[in-house]
Chains A and B, each alone.
Chain A
Amino acid sequence: MSKQPSLRIVLAKVGLDGHDRGVKVVARGLRDAGFHVIYPGLWQAPEAVIRTVADEDADWLGISLLSGTHMTLVPRLIEQLREAGLGHVGVLVGGIIPEADIPKLTELGVARVFGPGTPMEDIVQFLRDSGSRTHA
């Protein structure tokens, strides 16, 4: 009698980046599409994000970055996820990411980078197609 499970996704703003309009739009859009969205707020330390992903047993981590620090913070987050035994959690990046950095990020293990103007439908479809690597 188990239910149709909703994917759990943590959306995070990391470091000194106060621009949260985008992440809130995505949070709302994913919620409306049936996902369980956990949003812990602005100015999160990477360690705090990892803790949230662990305690919430998230399937996905979406990182929103508009501060240009993605090449520092994303590798650190991915490394810490692995160290915490959370290598199965899918990582998405959104925000202002220069074209040239996208291949580097995907090489690090980011599943997908969504830039400005991405239709909500694209993110929803990507998550639906990818599903959860956590729960078969």
Chain B
Amino acid sequence: MLDELFERLEKQDRLALARLLTLVAREEQLDVIRSRAGKRPEKTRVVAITGNAGVGKSTLVGKLAEYLRSQGQSVAILACDPQSPLTGGALLGDRVRMPSRPDDPGIYIRSVAAASGHQAVAEHVDVMIRVLGRYGFDVVLLETVGAGQGDTAVSELADVVVLLVQPESGDELQWEKAGLLEVADVVVVHKADLAGADRTEGQVKELLSLPGCRKIAVLRVSSTKGEGFEALWQAVLESPRHAAAADEDARELLRRAQEILAERFHRQGDRVGNVIDRWKRQELDEAQAADELLQLLAR
């Protein structure tokens, strides 16, 4: 089945694309899809849009997608919404604020449910991005659930992280506490048509001018008025792509090695228990026991 799906994906079959993403979300044949999809092509730029709930992420993503379409770029949107930890259910409503262009093949919107506790994006978004890259999208916009404090996983997935803040959303201390400014490459003061936007912009700039801060672009965008998108995209293009994204393969390799290790450990179940028992009975000292465990794993 995967052969056929990937064959269709090469021919830009949207239904095959949609099905592959479903398989990824369901963790079906995840490793096979990951390797078949291959490395994300250089041309596919991944931009994460993050920020607190209500700051306007979906709206901005929608408008940014329209801007990119007007520039001839094909765009895929992965819109993450939270999933109930109790039932696994999810209400995925980001599409409400996104463009509806049924006749435009250059835009693809997919809602994904993010399990709570798994940072700010859905699981296996890295594999979804690979599949979207394989399909050939120029840009992938990754909308987070609404970042909380210390949500940094996005910076490993995306080339550029855009953090949205809005006017009147707390004093300077809030910014620092959020720790998000550490991962942001571009900070957008969204809803710039509202009063107080210039003050918020000033506060963010002041914070970022403290010694030791990276150079981060700060700019104002109004989705209501459709202003600031050209400048925003320019800032994204000028922002250096994360080394982390390029290191994805190395991380992948390590992850795979860890899995193999875990599998071997599991396979040696009884023998592992045996070594531990002997160590408990003090027939082995710690160094000897560790040594025996390693020998088991090497088999």
Contacts and interface: CB of A to CB of B under 8 A. Distances in A.
A80 to B, nearest CB: 10
Interface in B40-94: 83-84, 87-93
B95 A32 contact: no
B189 interface: no
Interface stretch (B22-30, B190-198, B216-224): B22-30
Interface residues of B, number: 30
Given A31-B89, A36-B90, A39-B93, 5 more contacts: A31-B87, A40-B95, A40-B96, A55-B108, A57-B21
Interface stretch (A43-51, A62-70, A71-79, A100-108): A43-51
Nearest to B104: A51
Interface string B93-117: 1011100101100001111010000
Contacts of B97: 41
Interface of B: 14-15, 18-19, 21-22, 26-28, 30, 83-84, 87-93, 95-97, 100, 102-103, 108-111, 113
A128 to B, nearest CB: 12
A4 B186 CA distance: 38
Nearest to A29: B89
Contacts of A30: 89
Contacts of B95: 38-41, 52
B102 A6 contact: no
Contacts, number: 92
18 contacts: A2-B28, A8-B22, A34-B89, A35-B89, A36-B89, A36-B90, A37-B91, A38-B92, A38-B95, A40-B100, A41-B93, A41-B97, A44-B100, A48-B102, A51-B102, A52-B100, A56-B110, A57-B18
A21 interface: no
A116 to B, nearest CB: 22
A85 interface: yes
B19 A1 contact: no
A78 B91 CA distance: 24
> Which of B27, B88, B108 gathers most chain A CB within 10 Å?
B88
A133 interface: no
